[in-house]
A and B are shown apart, each in its own frame.
Chain A
């Protein structure tokens, strides 16, 4: 009689274990399917609104950086980052200074993220470059500088892609 009851206990225990495991993993599989369904419909509102890619295939950080760039940097460094902005002509004529060309990949490779961030924050003079690059450290906060440097890096990437397609 005693053996029979312990057998019963073991059987029920096993069933309980099996069931609870099933229930638990069942829930997991269920939620996994929902994610897959959401990703499938790329055109859905949720997909567009939560997408990590922004206009022109930029990341969120680069996209934010673009508006800072267009506001403060574009006038000299140019809309396409080629160093030929509206004011570049005057700088060359008056002082013989040319704004940096961000599409030049060799130039960009030689400058680390940290290095460019320093030039943006402290200005050209303190980084042994031209004094006509002003310091932005008091105007932009660290986050904005990070964003704008991320965007500056995009130009050489785009150029490289353009060269490849030729």
Chain B
């Protein structure tokens, strides 16, 4: 236990405190979500989600101790082994998984279920970090350096897609942040965002108007372009970009009708117009907004939420836990939660930047990116800014698999960070 002293001294207490705050607030809200005023729900009773979550928190604490005790070099050395184990579990679950809510992605252990997809984030983060720790790899010059990364992400993504967990698969989009930091040209995420924006604009307006607007903008760009740029190919580049964009606009229809499944299409349409299907998919969004909106500035008070008591909001203690915060603690509560998350991920970025090894830095960005993506999508869907995608709010949502995977993800980074004084820089 010679290392235990430096650990407690060097571990980043700010992150740990935010983590503990999130767990406590999350647990109290899970209790509020399952609370039944007529049955006197006990928050320590293992038969309800609040009691179970407390048990998950306890076991997460044990996991964290294990992580802090294990040598920090373990994670870098065995990153590909961990990756292989998780891939193996993902294959196993396809054949031996139990079916919960239509997706075959759970391994049943007695009365509790584990979801290997949750741990794929950790595995992919470690594998990407390990791969990028090679200083010879450069993301801004060589296209072929991207292929292994694509492979690392695509394999688990494909397996998760097979088990019908689209939400968990989308989380892999968060690795764009890491790649951007490590040198991916800025235009790639920019194109992605423009593509997404075009998708939404297309669904809102008449296609011909958008096509016209793109042509006008392209004309303006060409007109304003310096003559030299225009001669060097800027003219054609602009025209091609404009045509590609128009192509996307008209391709969206095809994409919406032929590529997406019916419920996914519905979720995007509802995002644009919740009233288009108020009884069906729109129900979740409307009810969630009502619950949050009814909280007002100060909220209705702990355990006083009424929207939640009649099961207006489905998945109250898991994916829609933010509604309970909004209803019972009002704008004050939601602001605190938003601040906690922004502070956590910003702090993680700062910590990542101070790492001496590239492995540690990349991994730190992975953790920040994953937590950010969950926050973005989960909170976004409860307030009607994102489509309904079933992914949990880290540290808040009920669920052992997600709590464990986020805790492990975070504390591996904290462990590596705590060992920073002993790490040799490798660039």
B and A form one assembly: no
Interface residues of A (CB under 8 A from B): none
